[in-house]
């Protein structure tokens, strides 16, 4: 589903995309050799390796192999480091999408209590950094957090990124809070739900994103933005 949506978005805006669908038994060496080839190909601006990978492949080694200037997911340690310092080219797509939703909704982050539930490298950690760069007061909660509801009830801006269906209930939300649901959980063949229980949360929240149709499409849009940026960066690099 993710990969198809990414391909469709590329087609829609005029980015040529190539899918390398590899067998689950592919060796790490083969995968690294493909990445090496794409790194060197001046016709390729951006590379992403859809995660997760099979157990026999070292995911971090694969991420490390992608040229940081083509790393449109912003997963490479160089790009992760840049996000920490606030001086970055690429922003991880999902947190970037959340920031765009907040901005376009006219919500000011400065001095707000921001609570991120989830500490993944893909969403929770970079999300906390981006909110911090906008002068939010950020708390990161996770599966070992004691009295989670007490923390979430303090949030003016609550970002749920735990990957557990309907985990955040209405009584865990401060009245009027901005609730952003990053979760995409398939609970039946045709039923997707978020990490927030929408029915109980919606009356409490001042603003809330739906699943599907909330953060998901924004993630794709941000991937397109990173890819365009990568094209400019790599074009300039070629010209040097
Ligand atoms: N798997 C789940 N989310 C993502 C993402 O944003 N990028 C990649 N490459 N894989 C993922």
pLDDT score of 237 more than 90? no
pLDDT digits (tens, 9 = 90+) for 65-118: 999 999 999 999 999 999 999 999 999 999 999 999 999 999 999 999 999 999
Query: Do 102 and 213 fall into the same domain?
Result: yes
Ligand 1 mean position, distance from CA 3 (Å): 9
Query: Do 200 and 113 fall into the same domain?
Result: yes
- The residue segments making up the domain with residue 168 are 93-217
Q: Of 5, 122, 224, which is best to mutate to test ligand 1, by the most ligand atoms within 8 angstroms of its C-beta? A: 122
Record the tokens describing residue 203, joined without a space.
């009356």
Query: Do 184 and 111 fall into the same domain?
Result: yes
Ligand 1 mean position, distance from CA 2 (Å): 8
The CATH number of whichever domain residue 201 belongs to comes to 3.40.50.720
- Output DSSP code: residue 52: P
Query: Do 49 and 107 fall into the same domain?
Result: no
Query: Do 126 and 50 fall into the same domain?
Result: no
Query: Do 174 and 122 fall into the same domain?
Result: yes
- Which sign, positive or negative, has the C-alpha torsion 107, 113, 117, 121? positive
Is the CB of 74 inside a 6 Å radius of any atom of ligand 1? Answer: no
pLDDT of residue 45: 98
Record the tokens describing residue 111, joined without a space.
């001095």
| Contact of 220 with 9, CB cutoff 8 Å | yes
The domain total for the chain is 2
Nearest to 226 by CA among 79, 115, 84: 79
Report the mean per-residue pLDDT for the chain.
97
Residue 225 lies in a domain: no
DSSP H stretches of helix in 23-123: 28-40, 59-65, 77-85, 93-104
Query: Do 61 and 111 fall into the same domain?
Result: no
Convert 143-168 to b/e letters by CB count within 10 Å (16 or more is b): eebeebeebbbebbbbbbbbeebbbb
DSSP string, 9-25: HHHHHT---------TT
Query: Do 98 and 162 fall into the same domain?
Result: yes
Is the CB of 93 inside a 6 Å radius of any atom of ligand 1? Answer: yes
The closest-lying atom of ligand 1 relative to the alpha carbon of residue 52 is 1
Residue 149 lies in a domain: yes
Helix/strand/coil for 174: coil
pLDDT score of 238 more than 90? no
pLDDT of residue 15: 98
Helix (H) or strand (E) holding 114: strand 113-117
**Catalytic-role residue among 8, 36, 41, 50:** 50
Query: Do 110 and 27 fall into the same domain?
Result: no
- Which sign, positive or negative, has the C-alpha torsion 30, 31, 36, 40? positive
Query: Do 142 and 59 fall into the same domain?
Result: no
- Provide mean pLDDT across the span 26-36: 98
The length of the chain, given as a count of residues: 240
Record the tokens describing residue 48, joined without a space.
């992403």
Q: Rounded distance, CA 108 to CA 157, Å?
A: 10
Nearest to 180 by CA among 208, 141, 199: 208
Query: Do 142 and 57 fall into the same domain?
Result: no
Query: Do 192 and 99 fall into the same domain?
Result: yes
pLDDT digits (tens, 9 = 90+) for 213-235: 999 999 999 999 999 999 999 99
Ligand 1 mean position, distance from CA 188 (Å): 21
């Amino acid at each position: 589903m993710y990969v198809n949506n990414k391909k469709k978005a590329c087609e829609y805006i005029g980015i040529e995309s190539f899918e390398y669908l590899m067998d689950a038994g592919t060796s790490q060496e083969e995968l690294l050799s493909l990445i090496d080839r794409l790194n060197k190909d001046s016709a390729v601006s951006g590379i992403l390796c859809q995660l997760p990978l099979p157990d026999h492949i070292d995911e971090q080694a694969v991420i490390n192999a992608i040229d940081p200037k083509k790393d449109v997911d912003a997963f490479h340690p160089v790009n992760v480091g840049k996000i920490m310092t606030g001086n970055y080219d690429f922003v991880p797509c999902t947190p970037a999408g959340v920031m765009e939703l907040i901005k376009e909704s006219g919500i000011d982050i400065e001095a707000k209590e921001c609570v991120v539930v989830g500490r993944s490298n893909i969403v929770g950690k970079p999300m906390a950094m981006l909110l911090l760069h906008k002068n939010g007061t950020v708390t990161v909660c996770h599966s070992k957090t004691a009295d989670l509801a007490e923390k979430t009830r303090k949030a003016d801006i609550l970002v749920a990124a735990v990957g557990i269906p309907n985990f955040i209930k209405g009584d865990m939300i401060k009245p009027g809070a901005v609730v952003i649901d990053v979760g995409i959980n398939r609970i039946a063949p045709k039923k997707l739900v978020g990490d927030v229980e929408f029915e109980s949360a919606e009356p409490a929240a001042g603003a809330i994103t739906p699943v599907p149709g909330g953060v998901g499409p924004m993630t794709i849009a941000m991937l397109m933005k990173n890819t365009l940026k990568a094209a400019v960066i790599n074009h300039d690099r070629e010209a040097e």
